Structure 1
Amino acid sequence: MEEPYRPVALRVMAEHVGEDPVWDSDPDHMGQVDLASLGVSEDLIARLNAWNDEFISTALTDFEFSSPDAEERWRRTGLELAYELQNQLPDVEISYFDDEDDRPLRQRRGPFRAPHNSPRL
């Protein structure tokens, strides 16, 4: 029996449509992926889709955010979500489109997150 296809590399990238904003980069399977079929948590899928919905909401403004700070927050959120996706799919190489660092996320250190019970700095 043939093993089901599993991507080796995915890219978190916002899209104008409401599907999961994660893309397979394999030339034979290029396109958006169904994250649920890969075992990604419902919570992360919902947050990725909410992040993508925020991008879609800028469509009537030529994809301009309300301010540079709003755009920077959106980009930072996308990177944090990409790191979470990398943690949930350790066998898949995850990259993030809206980032100046082209290295896959597992080749660099993720964003700092204080434990829930520690004081915020």
Structure 2
Amino acid sequence: MDRQKITDALGIPPGTSLYLTKLDFLVWGNNLYFAAIAGEDMAFSLQFRDCREWRWQTYTHIESAGEPFPRTELVNFRLGRSQHRSPAHLLTEHFGLSLFYGDVLLVRDGEEFRFNQ
């Protein structure tokens, strides 16, 4: 599980909860940018760029009171390998996503962290 790579990049304890709060779906799915929160208030973005293929599975019926993207906890994360070599896997309480990507970045306060894979 590569979830700890996210917490390490943020400089927070490994057990800190991570939540996805929004998805920007750009260039017809070529780029997927997840807005996220670590703990209660540390905002960051997880950006998958140059995506070639992805598979999305919804696991629960989501009821949201006017929210297009209710907060969902990132339960498991596997980075895969960049340059479309092996897929990343994200598992949340509401959905699972597998995707082949060119590059992945974690962005916080304007600073970019690249996962070298």
Scaled to the shorter chain, the TM-score interval is: under 0.3
TM-score, with length taken from structure 1: 0.27
TM-score, with length taken from structure 2: 0.28
